Amino acid sequence: MVGTSLVADAGSGAGAERPTPTKAATLTVSAKEDIAEGVVSLTLTHPGGARLPDWTPGSHIDVVLPGGAVRQYSLCGDRWDAYAYRVAVLREPAGRGGSAHVHDRLRPGDRVGVGGPRNHFPLVPSEKYLFIAGGIGITPLLPMMHQAELLGADWQLLYGGRTRSSMAFREELTAAYGERVHVVPQDELGLLDLAAWLGTPRPDTKVYCCGPAPLLAAVEAACVSWPPYALRVERFSAGAQTAPVRNTPFEVELRRTGHTVTVTPDISVLEAVRRAGADVLSSCEQGTCGTCLTTVLEGQPDHRDSVLADHERAANDCMFLCVSRSCGDRLVLDI
Amino acid sequence: MTEALERAVVPPVSDADPFAHEVLVEPEPLHQALREAGPVVYLSRYDVHALARYEQVHAALVDWQHFESGSGVGLANFRHEEPWRTPSLLLEADPPRHDAPRRVLREVLAPPALRRLRETWHTVAEELVDQVLAGGTEFDGFAALAEAFPLRAFPDAVGLGPDGREHLLPYGNMAFNAFGPRNDLVAADAHRVAELSVWVNAQCEREALSEDGFGRQIWDAADRGDLTHEQAPLVVRSLLTAGVDTTVHGLAACLYAFATHPEEWRRLRERPELARAAFEEAVRWQSPVQTFFRTATTDVAIAGTVIPADTKILMFLGAANRDPARWHDPDRFDLTRDPSGHVGFGMGLHQCIGQHVARLEAEALLTALARRVERMELTGTPHRHPNNTLRSWASLPLRVQPAA
Ligand code: FES
């Protein structure tokens, strides 16, 4: 699931270098590593060495590639390291070019625009967990397993992939967690035996699954007789995050004062409206606290915050000025 | 460690007592002295390191990895001392235990979720202001407005039953005192701890909460498995502990500010949309929550001083909010300034989760007052109520001139 293209490459200028959306959210690729067949990991850090916004297991970030394409990748590093994000990217030959770009073109030292982190796949408290990963779907589950260990929960991982060599983090997981980890390469052992693992509902267990759509469907089918909410899947639905990120200036009209300002790619909407003399409060300036929430009267915001739920994003009636931007040429705000 | 210690800066030492009554009532002189003494000051009386400058307080607040909350955000170190009550799942917990309760409460109290309350609270505020003004133009602003408004609005929003609400403020007062040393303020409440705790805990149960409030939404989250059923009442308790006194004293700070700064009141009357900014500036200027502690998870260096692992750090939020290195003319209550970035609600992972609720309450009350009141002034000396953590009030004698 991670690395799946969710958003079509925006506009016709794919491949051309364009400025990234905001300065604040531009990170440096500080390391790139081959970690399995067809999988690279990227380490992203702040160009000025600053702390990055906090995240929780299951969170993803949006990565804006040159040309404006946006891809979502789950964070799979260590949240105790506040200075680096780590993601793993699968090359998808059938994809729209995002993963190929990461594999073939992105180099250490390059800058990328980053949105989020946001979490639609949070780890809820439980005594027992069954984690089921298909291929690169292992990434959001990695920090969850670490967390389950810290909490003293009982857990197991069922990890399927095409071949042993294509399964990222396989060796580390086995070394760290031993018998909790069940590695099932398809060419050796066939498909995951979901009937055996999920056939009998266990009310004390939460099932977390991330992987390709057919795996999610099979796990959902196998869990129908489980208690409601026992199964949690990562679902990057096309509807959730289709906002194209524009890298061109847009206009913001401040309805109450009557001013109109242009927001250029190098400044936030917050900065732009402040320059126009509007009093807007902010606090974290990272899209995590909600202080700068502003009512949107017209236009469609490109939400980059970590606070709003999907239905709140879809309503298009409010936005966080410190990080969010515009999908269209114009926004009208109630300030 | 040894190397770090060898090069370590020895911090200035102070034997001041930040929890002495006269300091709690008027903290600015100590704050100034601590800020000027250095980025880190060792408080010998309590064997803690203190931070009073904005830069260091902000840095410590966001760095949950090195400055943990799970050992208690008061003076007591839960690694060695028994807490007086089950620790809060939010305030007194670190990741990963902090994650699920925080997430659930954040969703319940997120700004979009509060929109449905907005109209109700504006109406409640208007009714209250009308009622107070109908009773005369001289009154105790603290009791009549700052206390009265949140007590009308907030418990209903949580879904509390009608009985026993008078326990809310004493409970909060006690809980916030308990973050300090075991001084006379703590002793004064000792005889009530059991009674108040029993009442508050009983309100956190599902059956005690109405169908449509924040409290029930927390239990619903537990039914969905987003929390455990053991966690749900403790998360409700966080709302009740942290959601009342802080707002009451924040509102009192607003009234005090406007009664002593008539030109700022005129500004607000002209532009009532400044109500939120006014509350924010009042929170910066009078910081209802003055202090919180953290515990160093490892030996951690701040501006060259090494703070040993497992020791307490006292952060002066109120002092940081008046640091002249961060704010121009910081002792001035000034509606034209941008108070963004103040640490009155904390910062980072533990930043006040109820801040949007407090802002909405303040907006409702200040807007209603701005419409009906031309001028307000003090008619006597306002009285503070010493509390180990809160900058709190006992009375605020006001005279108002109703708008024509
Ligand atoms: S300032 Fe915190 S979300 Fe914008």
pLDDT digits (tens, 9 = 90+) for B320-336: 999 999 999 999 999 99
State the pLDDT at residue A52: 94
Given an 8 Å threshold on Cβ–Cβ distance, is B100 in contact with A122?
yes
Please, what is the Cα angle at A149 between A148 and A150, to 5 degrees?
Answer: 90
User: Among the atoms of ligand 1, which is closest to the Cα of residue A290?
Assistant: 3
The partner residues of A185 in beta bridges, in order of sequence, read A161
* Helix H or strand E segment including B107: helix B99-108
Report how far ligand 1's centroid is from the alpha carbon of B128 (Å): 32
End-to-end CA distance of chain B: 69
B71 or A316: which leads in pLDDT: B71
Given an 8 Å threshold on Cβ–Cβ distance, is A123 in contact with B348?
no
Given an 8 Å threshold on Cβ–Cβ distance, is B351 in contact with A307?
no
Instruction: Say if residue A22's pLDDT is above 80.
Output: no
Identify the CA nearest to A44 among candidates A26, A58, A60, A59: A26
Instruction: Say if residue A240's pLDDT is above 60.
Output: no
Q: Mutate which of B63, B66, B69, B99 to test chain A, going by most A C-beta atoms within 10 A?
A: B99
- What is the full DSSP assignment across B117-175? HHHHHHHHHHHHHHHHHHT-SEEEHIIIIIIHHHHHHHHHHHT--STTGGGHHHHHHHH
A150 reaches B (C-beta below 8 A): yes
Average pLDDT rounded to a whole number, residues A230-240:
66
Given an 8 Å threshold on Cβ–Cβ distance, is B356 in contact with A51?
no
Ligand 1 probe mutation, A118, A269, A280, A291, most atoms within 8 A of CB: A291
A-facing residues of B in 101-140 (CB < 8 A) are 103, 106-107, 110-112
Average pLDDT rounded to a whole number, residues A14-21:
30
pLDDT digits (tens, 9 = 90+) for A56-87: 999 999 888 776 677 889 999 999 999 999 99
How does strand A59-64 pair with strand A70-74? antiparallel
Smallest CA–CA distance, residue A14 to chain B, in Å, is 36
State the pLDDT at residue B6: 62
Given an 8 Å threshold on Cβ–Cβ distance, is A206 in contact with B338?
no
Q: Is this complex's ipTM strictly greater than 0.85? A: yes
B348 or A97: which leads in pLDDT: B348
User: Among the atoms of ligand 1, which is closest to the Cα of residue A305?
Assistant: 3
The rounded distance, in Å, linking the Cα atoms of B386 and B27 is: 11
State the pLDDT at residue B112: 81
* Helix H or strand E segment including A129: strand A128-134
pLDDT digits (tens, 9 = 90+) for B44-73: 999 999 999 999 999 999 999 999 999 999
Instruction: Say if residue A239's pLDDT is above 50.
Output: no
Ligand 1 probe mutation, A271, A279, A283, A307, most atoms within 8 A of CB: A283
Given an 8 Å threshold on Cβ–Cβ distance, is B106 in contact with A307?
yes
| Confidence bin at A310 (pLDDT 50/70/90) | confident
**Which residues of chain A neighbour B345 with C-beta distances below 8 Å?**
283
In angstroms, the Cα distances linking B3 to A72, B41, B161, B233 are 43, 21, 59, 47
State the pLDDT at residue B61: 97
Instruction: Say if residue A14's pLDDT is above 50.
Output: no
State the amino acid at position B315 in one-letter form.
M
Q: Cβ(A51)–Cβ(A82) under 8 Å?
A: yes
Mean pLDDT of chain B: 96
State the pLDDT at residue A6: 27
Pocket of ligand 1 (CB under 6 A): A 282-285, 287-292, 305, 320, 322
Average pLDDT rounded to a whole number, residues B4-22:
88
| Confidence bin at B227 (pLDDT 50/70/90) | very high
- Long-range contacts of residues B231-235, Cβ cutoff 8 Å, at least 24 apart: B231/A125, B231/B89, B231/B100, B231/B101, B232/B204, B232/B206, B233/B201, B233/B204, B233/B205, B234/B86, B234/B88, B234/B89, B234/B101, B234/B204, B235/B89, B235/B90, B235/B101, B235/B104, B235/B105
Ligand 1 probe mutation, A288, A312, A313, A324, most atoms within 8 A of CB: A288
Report how far ligand 1's centroid is from the alpha carbon of A281 (Å): 8
Ligand 1 probe mutation, A54, A273, A289, most atoms within 8 A of CB: A289
CB pairs under 8 A between A and B: 88
Helix B231-242 / helix B193-203 crossing angle, nearest 10 deg: 120
Given an 8 Å threshold on Cβ–Cβ distance, is B111 in contact with A290?
yes
Average pLDDT rounded to a whole number, residues A165-171:
97
State the pLDDT at residue A309: 76
A179 reaches B (C-beta below 8 A): no
- What is the full DSSP assignment across B262-320? HHHHHHHHH-GGGHHHHHHHHHHHH-SB-EEEEEESS-EEETTEEEPTT-EEEEEHHHH
State the pLDDT at residue A8: 28
State the pLDDT at residue B2: 54
Given an 8 Å threshold on Cβ–Cβ distance, is B65 in contact with A147?
no
Average pLDDT rounded to a whole number, residues A95-101:
84
State the pLDDT at residue B4: 56
**Which residues of chain B neighbour A312 with C-beta distances below 8 Å?**
110, 112
State the pLDDT at residue A71: 84
Identify the CA nearest to B99 among candidates B226, B3, B234, B202: B226
**Which residues of chain B neighbour A57 with C-beta distances below 8 Å?**
96, 99
Mean pLDDT of chain A: 86
Report how far ligand 1's centroid is from the alpha carbon of B345 (Å): 13
B63 reaches A (C-beta below 8 A): yes
Cα dihedral across residues B281, B283, B286, B291: positive or negative:
negative
Given an 8 Å threshold on Cβ–Cβ distance, is A284 in contact with B347?
yes
Instruction: Say if residue B25's pLDDT is above 50.
Output: yes
Count CB neighbours of A270 within 10 A: 24
| Confidence bin at A171 (pLDDT 50/70/90) | very high
Nearest residue in chain B measured CA to CA from A316: B112
In angstroms, the Cα distances linking B110 to B115, B130, B371 are 9, 30, 28
A-facing residues of B in 80-99 (CB < 8 A) are 95-97, 99
A84 reaches B (C-beta below 8 A): no
Nearest residue in chain B measured CA to CA from A334: B273
Instruction: Say if residue B231's pLDDT is above 80.
Output: yes
pLDDT digits (tens, 9 = 90+) for A104-133: 999 999 999 888 898 989 999 999 999 999
Which residue has the least CA distance to atom 3 on ligand 1? A287
Percent of chain A with pLDDT over 90: 64
| Confidence bin at A286 (pLDDT 50/70/90) | confident
pTM higher than the cut 0.80:
yes
| Confidence bin at B221 (pLDDT 50/70/90) | very high
pLDDT digits (tens, 9 = 90+) for A187-214: 999 999 999 999 999 999 999 999 998 9
| Confidence bin at A20 (pLDDT 50/70/90) | very low
Region of residue B348 (phi > 0: left; psi between -120 and 50: alpha; otherwise: beta): left
Identify the CA nearest to A215 among candidates A4, A17, A20, A49: A4
The rounded distance, in Å, linking the Cα atoms of B360 and B340 is: 17
Among A69-73, B132-136, B154-158, B279-283, the minimum mean pLDDT is found in A69-73
State the pLDDT at residue A234: 82
Cα dihedral across residues B177, B182, B183, B189: positive or negative:
positive
Q: Mutate which of B108, B338, B340 to test chain A, going by most A C-beta atoms within 10 A?
A: B340
Instruction: Say if residue A299's pLDDT is above 90.
Output: yes
Given an 8 Å threshold on Cβ–Cβ distance, is B274 in contact with A293?
no
The rounded distance, in Å, linking the Cα atoms of A155 and A208 is: 11
**Buried b vs exposed e over B306-331: b needs ≥16 C-beta within 10 Å?**
bbeeeebbbbbbbbbbbbeebbeebe
pLDDT digits (tens, 9 = 90+) for A23-68: 447 899 999 999 999 999 999 999 999 999 999 999 999 888 776 6
B229 reaches A (C-beta below 8 A): no
Given an 8 Å threshold on Cβ–Cβ distance, is B107 in contact with A318?
no
| Confidence bin at A311 (pLDDT 50/70/90) | confident
Smallest CA–CA distance, residue B377 to chain A, in Å, is 27
Given an 8 Å threshold on Cβ–Cβ distance, is B224 in contact with A229?
yes
* Helix H or strand E segment including B56: helix B54-62
| Confidence bin at A4 (pLDDT 50/70/90) | very low
State the pLDDT at residue A265: 85
B283 or A278: which leads in pLDDT: B283
pLDDT digits (tens, 9 = 90+) for B171-218: 999 999 999 999 999 999 999 999 999 999 999 999 999 999 999 999
In angstroms, the Cα distances linking A144 to A124, A153, A210, B144 are 10, 11, 12, 50
- Nearest CB partner across the interface for B96, out of A147, A281, A289: A147
